[in-house]
């Protein structure tokens, strides 16, 4: 992991085509601007984690439903 210190109105460039700029700085937050090609996905980490959790829950639910159906079929 690379850790950098930036001030308001400073930027950094990633891979030559993604620019991250500091727009505002608060007491416990910062506002970033990210310029990147349209094919570059930019997601907040908490949204990725929630999506992964939802996918896992859906897999478990599907597995449980299939198992319940198999049990039901076997009883008849």
Residue 76: the pLDDT is 65
34/52 same-domain check: no
Between CA 9 and CA 33 the distance in angstroms is 10
Of 71 and 35, more confident: 35
User: 28: domain range?
Assistant: 1-40
Between CA 21 and CA 32 the distance in angstroms is 6
pLDDT at residue 75 is higher than 90 = no
19/51 same-domain check: no
pLDDT at residue 72 is higher than 80 = no
The number of CA neighbours under 13 Å toward the Cβ of 64 is: 6
Neighbouring residues of 20: CB distance < 8 A, sequence distance ≥ 6: 11, 12, 13, 14, 32, 33, 34
36/5 same-domain check: yes
Q: Average the pLDDT over 1-12 and give the result.
A: 94
Whole-model pTM: value is 0.64
| Domains of the chain: total | 2
14-70 confidence digits (pLDDT tens): 999 999 999 999 999 999 999 999 999 998 989 888 888 888 877 777 777 767 777
21/5 same-domain check: yes
């Amino acid at each position: 992991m690379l850790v950098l210190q930036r001030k308001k109105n400073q930027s950094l460039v990633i891979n030559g085509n993604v620019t991250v700029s500091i727009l505002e700085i608060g007491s416990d937050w910062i506002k970033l601007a990210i310029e990147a090609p349209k094919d570059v996905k930019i997601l907040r980490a908490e949204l990725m984690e929630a999506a992964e959790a939802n996918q896992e829950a859906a897999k478990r639910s599907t597995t449980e439903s299939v198992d319940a159906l198999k049990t039901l079929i076997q009883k008849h």
